[in-house]
Amino acid sequence: MKTLLTEAEIHTGVLNLAQRLSHRYGDTPLTIVGVLTGSLVFMADLIRQLHMPLRVGLVQASSYRGAVTEHGELAINTSWLPQIEGRHVLLIDDIFDTGHTLAAMIGELTARHPASLASAVLLSKQGRAEVALRPDYSVFDIPDAFVVGYGLDYNDQYRNLPYVAEMEPADLEQGKSEVPNDE
């Protein structure tokens, strides 16, 4: 794997985003909604840098399962989502790729009538967007590559890396061979 973003670069990027959010929201109470599972590391680091009153909720959205690099059908579970009607909400996700997940999540949250809704992602892949919508905040732009680390996984591995790395084709092939046969 090739390192794209070091631990120090990510830390600096998260601090910069926290400063921008603090400027925007000030002391206004904010509900942070993280998209499971990839955003957990990013969200945890970010909320420790914010000082306004916070509530945290989670939603599960997944279009990747197992050792695949192509999107499947998007499944959304909002059972861990707190009441957001009339509240200022920040949706946090790990990566903006085609944009379908972010668009679907914004639709889900908008239907619940928040006072305001903004979105933030750690990574935006260049040249992959298939929707007109863009995140309100993006910490890093990255090339069109399959990345892992800092919460992002491949075949449920690598989330714990403190940096973001690009998986090489050989890494992806090896990961596919490690998938258990369900037959």
Q: Give tens-digit pLDDT for 106-120.
A: 999 999 999 999 999
* Strand, coil or helix: 11: helix
> Can you give the pTM of this predicted structure?
0.87
> Do residues 18 and 46 make contact, with C-beta atoms less than 8 angstroms apart?
yes
Residue 56 — pLDDT band, cuts 50, 70, 90? very high
Would 183 be classed as within a structural domain? Answer: no
Order of strands, edge to edge, in the sheet holding 2-5? Answer: 2-5, 164-166, 147-148
Would 53 be classed as within a structural domain? Answer: yes
Backbone φ, ψ for residue 61 (5° rounding):
-135, 125
Annotated catalytic, 97?
Answer: yes
Domain count, the chain: 1
Q: Give tens-digit pLDDT for 73-93.
A: 788 888 889 999 999 999 999
DSSP 105-135: HHHHHHTT--SEEEEEEEEEETT---SS---
Would 44 be classed as within a structural domain? Answer: yes
> Two tokens at 106?
């914004």
Residue 70 — pLDDT band, cuts 50, 70, 90? low
Q: Is the pLDDT of residue 182 over 80?
A: no
Would 180 be classed as within a structural domain? Answer: no
Would 107 be classed as within a structural domain? Answer: yes
Q: Give tens-digit pLDDT for 10-30.
A: 999 999 999 999 999 999 999
> Two tokens at 158?
């690598």
The span from the CA of 107 to the CA of 78, in Å, is 12
Backbone φ, ψ for residue 20 (5° rounding):
-65, -40
DSSP 72-101: ---EEE-TTPPP-TTSEEEEEEEEESSSHH
What mean pLDDT comes out for the span 140-150? 96
- Look up the CATH number of the domain holding residue 67: 3.40.50.2020
What mean pLDDT comes out for the span 142-153? 96
Would 95 be classed as within a structural domain? Answer: yes
Would 22 be classed as within a structural domain? Answer: yes
How buried is residue 85: exposed, middle or buried, by Cβ count under 10 Å (0-12/13-18/19+)?
Answer: exposed
> Do residues 52 and 22 make contact, with C-beta atoms less than 8 angstroms apart?
yes
Estimate to the nearest angstrom the gap between the alpha carbon of 62 and the chain centroid.
Answer: 11
| Domain boundaries, position 152 | 2-174
Pick the catalytic residue: 94, 97, 144, 156?
Answer: 97
Would 182 be classed as within a structural domain? Answer: no
